[in-house]
């Protein structure tokens, strides 16, 4: 599968193997993938880069905030950024998400992630 639009995606995942796997998958289809191990690192990346199109974050992770809190802060800072929230422990109602956001329950297929990124970029 090849991405229809190239996006700059910030992956926020505390499990290194999962983070590296997603990074490889996204780069293989033509996206620019950035990484952060937690929300605090993600905020540093976002402050340094204005070109992030998509935030892809896990819900449960160590640090000063979880993925849902991170998503809310990012939405307030950058209303146009696409947000994808994922979790294997909690289920979020897609209808309760803000505009230009999606929830992917774990485990998810890589094709589903890529098509979700494409739909948020459209």
Nearest to 117 by CA among 95, 86, 71, 84: 84
Alpha helices (H) in 49-109, listed in sequence order: 67-77
**pLDDT recorded at residue 3:** 58
Query: Is 117 within the bounds of a domain?
Result: no
Query: Is 77 within the bounds of a domain?
Result: yes
DSSP state of 53: -
Number of domains in the chain: 1
Query: Is 35 within the bounds of a domain?
Result: yes
Looking at residue 71, which CATH number applies to its domain? 3.40.50.2300
The dihedral built from the CA positions of residue 96, 97, 100 and 101, taken in this order, carries a sign that is: negative
**pLDDT recorded at residue 96:** 67
Contact between 54 and 9 (Cβ < 8 Å): yes
Dump pLDDT digits (tens) for 35-78: 999 999 999 999 999 999 999 999 999 899 999 899 999 999 99
Is residue 100 scored above 90 in pLDDT?
no
**What distance in Å separates the CA atoms of residue 91 and residue 19, rounded to the nearest whole number?**
20
pTM of the model: 0.93
The parent domain of residue 66 ranges over 6-108
């Amino acid at each position: 599968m090849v991405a229809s639009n190239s996006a700059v995606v910030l992956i926020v995942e505390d499990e290194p193997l999962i983070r590296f796997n997603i990074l490889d998958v996204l780069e293989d289809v033509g996206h620019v993938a950035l990484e952060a191990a937690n929300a605090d690192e993600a905020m540093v990346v976002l402050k340094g880069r204005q070109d992030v199109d998509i935030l892809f974050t896990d819900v449960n992770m160590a640090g000063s905030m979880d993925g849902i809190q991170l998503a809310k802060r990012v939405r307030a800072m950058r209303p146009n950024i696409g947000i994808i929230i994922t979790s294997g422990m909690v289920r979020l109602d897609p209808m309760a998400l803000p505009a230009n956001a999606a929830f992917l329950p774990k485990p998810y297929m890589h094709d589903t992630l890529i098509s979700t990124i494409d739909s948020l970029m459209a």
